[in-house]
Amino acid sequence: SQQGEEDPQALSIQEGENATMNCSYKTSINNLQWYRQNSGRGLVHLILIRSNEREKHSGRLRVTLDTSKKSSSLLITASRAADTASYFCATDGYNNNDMRFGAGTRLTVKP
């Protein structure tokens, strides 16, 4: 069963704008990871944030985690057409490698 839900389900923006995607989950976690998936391909790891962290940055990506609200957000700044993809959050189960995924946010960046 899926653990989390991403919001919105789809997002369409212009190149150069920022994109914010949210993820909510149901149970306590150790880690939360964000992934990108281009159509029909494998998942590309973006960021891992641990339950004792509140914010992490990687290049144009900023991830926040609020464990009290069981939610996380992924911000992509200065978006590019190449950022067009589906974005998923995944939370760990009993151990890190039994992950639960949400349905994903489909991001379209228009040139």
Partner 1 sequence: KAGVTQTPRYLIKTRGQQVTLSCSPISGHRSVSWYQQTPGQGLQFLFEYFSETQRNKGNFPGRFSGRQFSNSRSEMNVSTLELGDSALYLCASSTDYDRVFFGPGTRLTVL
CB-neighbour burial class of residue 108 (10 A; exposed 0-12, middle 13-18, buried 19+): middle
- Measured CA angle at 79 (ends 71, 46), to 5 deg: 50
Is 35 a binding residue for partner 1 by CB under 8 A? The answer is yes
The single-letter DSSP state of residue 29 is -
Q: Point out which span in 12-20, 25-33, 55-63, 69-77 binds partner 1 (CB under 8 A).
A: 25-33
Q: Which of 104, 105, 107, 109 binds partner 1 (CB under 8 A)?
A: 104
Is 102 a binding residue for partner 1 by CB under 8 A? The answer is yes
Cβ neighbours, 10 Å, residue 9: 13
Is 94 a binding residue for partner 1 by CB under 8 A? The answer is yes
# residues near partner 1 by CB under 8 A: 28
Is 101 a binding residue for partner 1 by CB under 8 A? The answer is yes
